[in-house]
Chains A and B, each alone.
Chain A
Amino acid sequence: MADPRARIQRLLSLVPYVLKHQGATLGELCEVFGVTRDQLMRDLNLIFVCGQPDYTPADLIEVDIDGDRVFIRMADYFARPLRFTNTELYGLHLACSALAKLSGKEASTALLSAMEKISEALREGRPPQDGIDGRIEIKPPSHERDVLSELSRACGERRVVDMEYYTYGRDEMSRRRVHPLSLEFGMGHWYLRAWDERRGESRVFRVDRIKELEVTAETFVPPEGEDLESSPPGPYGAAESGGIEVKLSFSAALADWAREQPIFTRCEEVKGRLVCVLRTENLSWLERELLSYGTEVKVISPPELKRRLKERALATLAVYGTDRPDTS
């Protein structure tokens, strides 16, 4: 049985919702309250037997389901939901200010005015703003904020986007024509999920790696069977599954750090070092990563990675070959 408290709270908002929106569909109610159809039916059946003493048919709340439309009457005392608790108000303020920081300009303007209205309506229920200010800091992602608004509009209007994109995995720039489907925030970055015309499949692009973009006048029809709501967001990160198995050995100094990295599918201790395995499609990004770890990490396999790492190290060394004068 689910938490009775959550259920009571839901019922106390469900009734006022239907009172204000008579004839709301079952589907709409499921979506708004995040419940299955079965749970919703159980909720409505329970409301049906609640009411005022003496609980004769004339005292009970009236619930009518006509087709898939819901009507509630005789429940005027539940005309409004319950006020916020302090922690709810706090939580809402924190979530709103986080989103205002993370999202495009338009969304954050609307959010701030919405929050202002809420504070005003609650008057004395205003949270101690000085408690929040200066105690929480949310660093906005590094892309320009307008990009997010532009992409968000392109998703909504289903317009084809032309962009110049840096692919970390292959360490190269490319031009792409994509059909933007959704924007997702995860691991501290915004990602664009989009159908890539040339590759004929949907891909995830990190928004801050889009160098330039143009929302074209051309519209697209979203691919069949791309049900975003039912698939979880992600996964993000450079390494996904791939044909090449890479085995690395980390020194004790980096072992704990390596264990925290989600890209490794397997980690085991061997003679004081940590041997980690990952699968990837490209080695290019690994050359850069491995240069960064220096001699704290050794490549066990494949030999090709060893060879390429050495080439990359030599190429980088060549940059330092001729001593430049200090430009300051």
Chain B
Amino acid sequence: MNKVERLIDLIAMLLQAKRPVTLEQIRKSIPGYDQSSMASFKRMFERDKSELREMGVPIEVEPVDALGEEVGYRIPKEEYYLPEIDFTPEEKVALLLVNRLSSGELTPFSREAGAALEKLSPDLGEGGGSCNTAPPRLRFAPMREREEVLNRLWQAAVECRTVRFVYRSLGKGKGKARERELDPYGLYLERGSWYVVGFCHLRGEIRSFRVSRIESEVDFMRPDGEGPDFARPADFRLEEHARILPWEFEEGEPYTAKVRFSPRMAWQVERDLGDVYRFEGMPDGGGVLEVTVRNEEAFLNWVLSYAEDAEVFSPAELREKVRRRLEKIVKSLGGG
């Protein structure tokens, strides 16, 4: 007999039962259990029971009579049934969109989010074209991060557990893969990539790691522990780390650079960075952005990607560096 059928029958029987059902009754009643010996039936039932419990089916063990000598099993309806929820049409549409998001695996435990939405489906009603609130056509492309890595990091951040993994950093010289130990403080998503922020034991400071560059599995340092392995500093603010731009990474003391953008590009720069930096519009449609620079190399890369649409005003030394960099490029391209 099919295992799925056996388990559905078992749930149905225990849900319907008014009193706890004994092992003997289960064995006698459900066809899938009857042909084996008592010992192998018990093993089979134990496996089924723990599998159902893992799925969240609340199987209770209760004494069958007042003497409490024999136990039986029961699924209390009030603990099994998902309460009915009355959603507005707008809320239904929004939740159907979440379903699309979860199929793109954008967030940790998106598969589980999909399972939750499946359970909500009776209350979300017809998802097909039949209803006039059909979800707008929004779609989500799949992510590059491995689901199990993202899930594990998220769990570690919530339970404050130290993890280790092999990470390939892209730095100066050759990107080397090294094992890292990390106290993860949080996760952030920016420009389509997930980052994990935390205290890096190797560097002895708070660092961000791009999740897609983790090459190994993510393991707990103390697999048998329950956490917490560390305490997140009280003054840690994830949003302060989540907005770090390449030219704000590490390196030297921060200073402010003023960059003018042409009318052609200023509107894009303002949209992109206007909430991070001071941006002042100019009458011609251009504008001046005040950028915080800690990593000059990354800053030069970025500002030169705007070619003649960006001009570094100050500081003078930085302006000079841009000019020298451009001269070097021209020179490297040879005569003609």
CA distance A298 to B191 in the complex (A): 27
Q: Is the CB of B141 within 8 A of A53?
A: no
For the complex, is B202 an interface residue (Cβ under 8 Å from A)? no
Q: How far is the CB of A11 from chain B (nearest CB, A)?
A: 6
Scan residues 267-308 of chain B and give those whose CB is less than 8 A from a CB of chain A: 267-268, 271-272, 288, 300-302, 304-308
Known contacts being A21-B125, A24-B126, A183-B136, is A253 close to B173, with CB within 8 Å? yes
Q: Which residue of B lies closest to A185 (CB)?
A: B140
Question: Chain B: how many interface residues by the 8 Å CB criterion?
Answer: 127
Q: Is the CB of B330 within 8 A of A53?
A: no
Q: Is the CB of B29 within 8 A of A10?
A: no
Specify which of A54, A153, A292 is in contact with B305 (CB 8 Å cutoff).
Answer: A292
Q: Is the CB of B88 within 8 A of A78?
A: no
Known contacts being A117-B85, A137-B242, is A16 close to B122, with CB within 8 Å? yes
Contact with A along B21-53 (1 / 0, CB 8 A): 000000001110000000000000000000100
CA distance A234 to B192 in the complex (A): 13
Known contacts being A17-B121, A46-B2, A84-B82, is A113 close to B91, with CB within 8 Å? yes
Scan residues 76-127 of chain A and give those whose CB is less than 8 A from a CB of chain B: 77-85, 87-92, 94-96, 98-99, 102-103, 106-108, 110-111, 113-114, 117-118, 121-122
> Which candidate, B11-19, B62-70, B214-222, is the interface stretch facing chain A?
B11-19
Q: How far is the CB of B70 from chain A (nearest CB, A)?
A: 19
Contact with B along A305-325 (1 / 0, CB 8 A): 011011011111111100010
Contact with A along B70-86 (1 / 0, CB 8 A): 00000001011111111
CA distance A32 to B101 in the complex (A): 15
Q: Is the CB of B139 within 8 A of A185?
A: yes
Q: Which residues does chain A contribute within 8 Å of B95, judged by CB atoms?
A: 96, 111, 114
Known contacts being A98-B106, A257-B170, is A294 close to B304, with CB within 8 Å? yes
For the complex, is A57 an interface residue (Cβ under 8 Å from B)? no
Q: How far is the CB of B321 from chain A (nearest CB, A)?
A: 11
Q: Which residues does chain A contribute within 8 Å of B138, judged by CB atoms?
A: 103, 152, 182-185
Q: Which residue of B lies closest to A30 (CB)?
A: B128
> Which candidate, A1-9, A213-221, A239-247, is the interface stretch facing chain B?
A1-9
Q: Is the CB of B258 within 8 A of A328?
A: yes
Q: Is the CB of A294 within 8 A of B141?
A: no
Q: Which residue of B lies closest to A147 (CB)?
A: B271
Q: Is the CB of A92 within 8 A of B98?
A: yes
Scan residues 225-244 of chain A and give those whose CB is less than 8 A from a CB of chain B: 228, 232-234, 236
Q: Which residues does chain A contribute within 8 Å of B88, judged by CB atoms?
A: 110, 113
Q: Is the CB of A139 within 8 A of B141?
A: no
Q: Which residues does chain A contribute within 8 Å of B300, judged by CB atoms?
A: 294
Q: Which residues does chain A contribute within 8 Å of B98, judged by CB atoms?
A: 92, 95-96, 99, 111
Interface of A is mostly: helix
For the complex, is B201 an interface residue (Cβ under 8 Å from A)? no
For the complex, is A174 an interface residue (Cβ under 8 Å from B)? no
Q: Which residue of A lies closest to B272 (CB)?
A: A142
Q: Which residue of B lies closest to A32 (CB)?
A: B127
Q: Is the CB of A316 within 8 A of B106?
A: no
Q: Which residues does chain B contribute within 8 Å of A138, judged by CB atoms?
A: 188-189
Interface of B is mostly: helix
For the complex, is A266 an interface residue (Cβ under 8 Å from B)? no
For the complex, is B322 an interface residue (Cβ under 8 Å from A)? yes
For the complex, is A136 an interface residue (Cβ under 8 Å from B)? yes
Known contacts being A46-B5, A294-B325, is A137 close to B314, with CB within 8 Å? no
Scan residues 92-143 of chain B and give those whose CB is less than 8 A from a CB of chain A: 93-95, 97-98, 101-104, 106-123, 125-128, 130, 134, 136-141
Q: Is the CB of B91 within 8 A of A21?
A: no
Q: How far is the CB of B222 from chain A (nearest CB, A)?
A: 19
Known contacts being A53-B13, A78-B12, A83-B56, is A183 close to B192, with CB within 8 Å? no
Q: Which residue of A lies closest to B240 (CB)?
A: A137
Q: Which residue of B lies closest to A135 (CB)?
A: B186
Specify which of A99, A236, A312 is in contact with B141 (CB 8 Å cutoff).
Answer: A236
Q: Is the CB of A189 within 8 A of B111?
A: no
Specify which of B2, B87, B268 is in contact with A209 (CB 8 Å cutoff).
Answer: B268
Q: Is the CB of B301 within 8 A of A292?
A: yes
For the complex, is B239 an interface residue (Cβ under 8 Å from A)? yes
Q: Is the CB of A327 within 8 A of B323?
A: no
Scan residues 220-278 of chain B and give those whose CB is less than 8 A from a CB of chain A: 237-239, 242-243, 258, 264, 267-268, 271-272
CA distance A137 to B188 in the complex (A): 5
Q: Is the CB of B170 within 8 A of A173?
A: no
Known contacts being A77-B16, A298-B332, A313-B329, is A320 close to B311, with CB within 8 Å? yes
For the complex, is B203 an interface residue (Cβ under 8 Å from A)? no
For the complex, is B90 an interface residue (Cβ under 8 Å from A)? yes
Known contacts being A88-B113, A173-B264, is A313 close to B333, with CB within 8 Å? yes
Of all A-B residue pairs in the complex, the 7 with the closest CB atoms, nearest first, are A188-B192, A186-B141, A91-B109, A182-B137, A91-B112, A91-B113, A188-B191
15 CB contacts below 8 A, A to B, read A4-B3, A13-B121, A13-B122, A21-B122, A25-B128, A28-B127, A32-B128, A46-B4, A82-B56, A91-B102, A98-B107, A135-B158, A152-B136, A183-B139, A320-B326
Known: A83-B80, A291-B305. 4 other contacts (CB 8 A): A46-B5, A80-B80, A83-B58, A91-B116
**A-contacting residues of B (Cβ < 8 Å)?**
2-5, 7-9, 11-13, 15-16, 29-31, 51, 55-58, 77, 79-88, 90-91, 93-95, 97-98, 101-104, 106-123, 125-128, 130, 134, 136-141, 154, 157-158, 168, 170, 172-175, 185-193, 237-239, 242-243, 258, 264, 267-268, 271-272, 288, 300-302, 304-308, 311, 313-316, 319, 322-323, 325-330, 332-333, 336
